[in-house]
Structure 1
């Protein structure tokens, strides 16, 4: 049983795909297949059921996965301890989202670039539900979440801050002249939003759902939403940090409506396993820098 075979097995088990595992490991698919077969031969057991074009772990494969996780964690810990003088290194796969990547992470990315140049941060854009799934499967090492819930089965997490939200419109929008707004007012106009699955979008949509309302127009990215709002196409509920510059310049205006719900920026990782030195370093520094950058009065 070779360590590299266990690494390949863990990746195939996480992705349930020989093809995708080969791509992520930079192997030929035939090499992945031969390594899994060699592992099965050495153990005398089938590790995957091949069902047409799909695979799944056998009971033996599920047992091996538990041992493989422990073995590889010990290998990583030993490597880090023995080679500690070289400093942190390797790749961290991080699930994130546009509002975090563009508006919260730059100081953290700059810190790692200058202080730990051997640590490569691989950022993967992902909706929160997909990030949670990828963390449980071991595809992501760490993930940022922006959600109302702060407890996640199978994961450990830390709340970095409550993320303030603001309802914005162009200065010339009809609602911009109102001193207060009701839900009926909000239902009468177009709402520009990110795709379904974004926590604050889903909560806002649920708030307006009980009576027929104008449809939510999905613009895909926050930058596209901001341009649509500034041109008068509709209103949008967004994290305050993403529109702070536009509000300061007068390109948008904050509407007099406060969301009856809260969402929290969080950092999460798979529960029940020891973080690698590099992952722990990322968690520690992200917590420090993002809490320092949190809006005054927001809980840390």
Structure 2
């Protein structure tokens, strides 16, 4: 089965329309229709329900879509990795959480690009669980995450980047006038907490409050998922400050939680997995920047403290 056919299938699934897909793929509609019919015949199932103006995936089509996406991602990744064996010009795929570490990553990419201008980057803004999944599937090379992380599966470098735990509340709420909020005061509030179990465990640990003694209304992958609940004062989000700094909301404010716990960050990549030369070079570049007390990032970090 050619990946070209999988790309055709995925484009139709994305647009739900054969003629629009044919136009974007720069092939004729009859040709595209024949290719999909051949694919369905070879699989022995119908992938699409055909309507007058739209095509929707069948249950088999939904399953096949997930597998096809993974196959195409891996093939594209393999082609990119091979392309940088002659000179440093491949693509480095990186997943990064929403936090202060994104500023660090941006600084590193800028410096690295100045040195290796032919290297390109694919950046994915996601939560920790999504980044772990992409790392494990091999569709990204590196993950920039907050601690704690599941270190057994990954190589890691501790980064000179910290963040703090805060409570996101509406600006007109009485809590917004406080300079800090005591951990014990969180007992009486409706809360939204991160989805990842390992992060939840970390929060319960420094709160010194069992989960069953908190009024947890919801969990969230990204802070942006819970903005409506916060603004409606249905619940308030425990989150890291950096998740809001890049996307400030005029209706919300962050109140630091009174805890000595500092959020640290790491760069991780899979153990026993062959990375491209460009990805390995980028890792070495990060190591040099982290270890060098006179690097631009280290000097900036000291000045900002």
Query: Normalising by the residue count of structure 2, what TM-score does the alignment of the two structures yield?
Result: 0.55
SS at match of 1:215: strand
Which residue of structure 1 lines up, in the alignment, with residue 280 of structure 2? 280
| CA gap 1:117/1:225 in 2 versus in 1, 3 angstroms | farther
Distance in 2 separating the partners of 1:171 and 1:131: 32
| CA gap 1:157/1:235 in 2 versus in 1, 3 angstroms | same
**CA deviation map 1:41-78 (0-9, x unaligned):** xxxxxxxxxxxxxxxxxxxxxxxxxxxx9xx9xx969x
- Bigger mean CA deviation after superposition, 153-162 or 255-264: 255-264
Which residue of structure 2 lines up, in the alignment, with residue 263 of structure 1? 263
RMSD over aligned Cα atoms: 4.4
| Cα shift at 1:222 | 2.7
Which residue of structure 1 lines up, in the alignment, with residue 214 of structure 2? 213
Distance in 1 separating the partners of 2:258 and 2:277: 41
Q: How many residue pairs were aligned?
A: 228
| CA gap 1:255/1:113 in 2 versus in 1, 3 angstroms | same
**CA deviation map 1:162-200 (0-9, x unaligned):** 522132333432334557644442121222444x11754
Query: Normalising by the residue count of structure 1, what TM-score does the alignment of the two structures yield?
Result: 0.56
| Cα shift at 1:216 | 3.6
Distance in 1 separating the partners of 2:74 and 2:273: 22
Which residue of structure 2 lines up, in the alignment, with residue 203 of structure 1? 202
| Cα shift at 1:138 | 3.5
Q: Does 1:118 align with 2:167?
A: no
Distance in 1 separating the partners of 2:277 and 2:173: 51
**CA deviation map 1:227-274 (0-9, x unaligned):** 764665543333233344799x99655536323534321111223466
Of residues 72, 75, 91 in structure 2, which corresponds to 1:23?
72
What are the ranges of 5 or more consecutive residues in structure 1 without an aligned counterpart?
1-16, 28-68
Matched-pair contact (CA < 8 Å) for 2:189–2:236: yes
- The 5 A counterparts of 1:89-104 are 89-99=89-99, 103-104=103-104
